[in-house]
A = this chain, B = another copy of it.
Amino acid sequence: MPYKFLLLTTLLWTCCAQADGTAPTDRATVGKDTLARVTGSSGAKVVDSLQDIAPELGRWIVEFGYGEVVSRPQLDLRTRELATVAALTALGTAQLQLRAHINGALNVGCKPEEVVEVIMQMAVYAGFPASLNGIAQAKEVFAERGVKIHPEQ
């Protein structure tokens, strides 16, 4: 009777998955994959570091943040990461996460000059201190990665 089981499994899974468009397993898998594409192994380390204090927060980052939001096909990862760098530079309250997403932007194929440009642009919308602090993060990330930048004036 195994083929019936398989059939039913597939059938039920499909139903289940269609209940809201994404089954939990889906979200976790897509989330881990997207997290890895954006952050390499560093995102997973952050999630792991939450295990002994707030493991659900880590699960939400993977399944909701990366599995449901950032992985949506409506916008490419390069634009998403530049938008995130812009927002975190403007907010100025999340320097560690800004650093992670400067790395993320480079990981998904943004040129360092584009990352710098978005941070510079924030001087207009959030003031020079926000931009200066963002550039300081970029400078450290670029140094760590050995990235050479060719600023055009």
Contacts and interface: CB of A to CB of B under 8 A. Distances in A.
Interface in A4-40: 5, 8-9, 12-13, 16-17, 19-25, 27-28
Contact of A89 (B87, B121, B132): B87
Interface in A38-84: 46, 49-50, 52-57, 59-61, 63-65, 68-70, 72-75, 79-80, 82-84
A82 to B, nearest CB: 6
Give the secondary structure class of A's interface: helix
Interface residues of A, number: 83
A103 interface: no
A101 to B, nearest CB: 9
Contact of A117 (B21, B61, B75, B149): B75
Interface of A: 5, 8-9, 12-13, 16-17, 19-25, 27-28, 46, 49-50, 52-57, 59-61, 63-65, 68-70, 72-75, 79-80, 82-94, 96-97, 113-114, 116-133, 135, 138-139, 142, 149, 151-153
